[in-house]
Amino acid sequence: MQSQKRYKRVVVKIGSSLFATDKFKLDTGLVNNIAKQIADLIKQGKEVVVVSSGAIALGMSILKLTTRPKKLEQLQAAAAIGQHELMHVYKLALNKYKLNCAQLLLTWDDFLGSRYANAKHTLDTLLKLKCVPIINENDTVATEEIKLGDNDRLSALVSILVGANLLIILSDVEGLLDKNKKVIRQVNKITHDIKSLASPTSKNTCVGGMVTKIEAARIAVEGGVLCVIANGRKDKIISQLSNNPYSQGTIFLPLKK
C-alpha cells in the first residue's frame, strides 16, 4: 500500500445512474451533498474537477422521453436541452458554499495539439481561482469521428490533462465485483481476467457500465493517476476517498508515479 500522501488535485466523475431517478428526474439532494463535499475539500486546500454526466438524461426528462434516443440528432437535442439544466443545478448547489463553477464541453479534438494546451491552461487557471470546473462531453456537436463515447474515458483523459493525483469514478455500484459478487479492493494490473469481470450497462439513460470504467482506469493508471471506482450514494464518499483512496471501492494502482 502506498504511504499516506496529500491528494491535492482530484477529478471526480459522476455518472448518470446517480443523478437520474426512475423517472429521469435529477436527484437534487445528491447534487447538494456532492457540492458540500467539494466545498469541504476546497477548504482543506484541495482542487476538484468534476466530470459530470446527466445532460442527456435531463433532456429526456424535459422532453418526456421514456427511452434513450437512437438517432444522433435526437441525442444532440436532448443534450443541448439538458446541459443547461445540469449546470443550473450545479450553480445553485455550489453557490450555497460561495463557490463558482465553470462549464467545459470537450471532444476528442480537445486532447490533440494546441487545443490540449489551451484546455490545460484554462483548467489550471480555474483551479487557481478556486472555481469548480464542470466538464462534460460536447454531445451537442460531437459526431462519431470526434466523440469520446462516454464520460468514464473522458474523466481519465482529464485526470491526465490536469495532472491529478487521484481519479474517483462514482456510480451506483460498490466497485468491481469478482465472480462471487464480492468487491475486489485492489487491482495492481488490469489483466484479461479483470476485464472479463466487467459487463455493459442495460440502463436507459447510461452508456458503458463497468466495461468503460475499467477502460478508464486503464487510461488513468497508464498516465500515472491513482483511480478508484466506488458507490457515489455512500455518505461522504468523495471526502473519504480524497483523504484515503484505499478506504472504499476498488482501487487501481498507477503504473508510474
In the numeric block, the cell 477529478 is attached to: 11
Q: Are strands 250-252 and 226-231 parallel, antiparallel or unpaired?
A: antiparallel
- What residues contact 121, with CB distance under 8 A and at least 6 apart? none
- In CATH terms, the superfamily for domain 9-252 is Acetylglutamate kinase-like (3.40.1160.10)
Q: pTM for the full model?
A: 0.90
Beta carbons of 159 and 225 less than 8 angstroms apart = yes
109 DSSP assignment: G
**pLDDT tens string 3-56:** 445 799 999 999 887 876 665 567 888 899 999 999 999 999 999 999 998 888
> b/e map of 204-231 (b: 16 or more CB within 10 Å)?
ebbbbbbbbbbbbbbbbbebebbbbbbb
Does residue 240 surpass a pLDDT of 90? yes
Mean pLDDT of 180-208: 78
pLDDT of residue 6: 75
Q: Across the chain, where does the E strand assignment appear?
A: 9-14, 47-52, 101-106, 132-137, 166-171, 186-187, 226-231, 250-252
Residue range 190-196: mean pLDDT, rounded: 91
Q: What local confidence, expressed as pLDDT, does residue 224 receive?
A: 95
pLDDT reading at 155 higher than 50? yes
Residue (of 187, 132, 123) closest to 161 by Cα position: 123
pLDDT band at residue 1, thresholds of 50, 70 and 90? very low
| Amino acid at the residue 179 | K
Instruction: Tell me the CB-side half-sphere exposure of residue 114, using CA atoms within 13 A.
Output: 0
So what's the pLDDT on residue 144? 53
pLDDT of residue 65: 87
pLDDT tens column, 201-238? 545 444 457 889 999 999 999 999 999 999 999 989 99
193, β-bridge pairs: none
* Residue 175 CB neighbour total at 10 angstroms: 21
Q: Is 146 strand, coil or helix? A: coil
Q: What is the mean pLDDT of residues 119-145?
A: 86
Q: Which residue, among 70, 256, 10, 197, has the nearest Cα to 78 in the 3D structure?
A: 70
pLDDT tens sequence across 70-103? 888 888 888 899 999 999 999 999 999 999 999 9
Residues contacting residue 192 through CB under 8 Å, at least 6 positions apart: none
Distance CA 122, CA 82 (A): 24
Place of cell 468514464: 152
Domain range list for the chain: 9-252
pLDDT at 5: 52
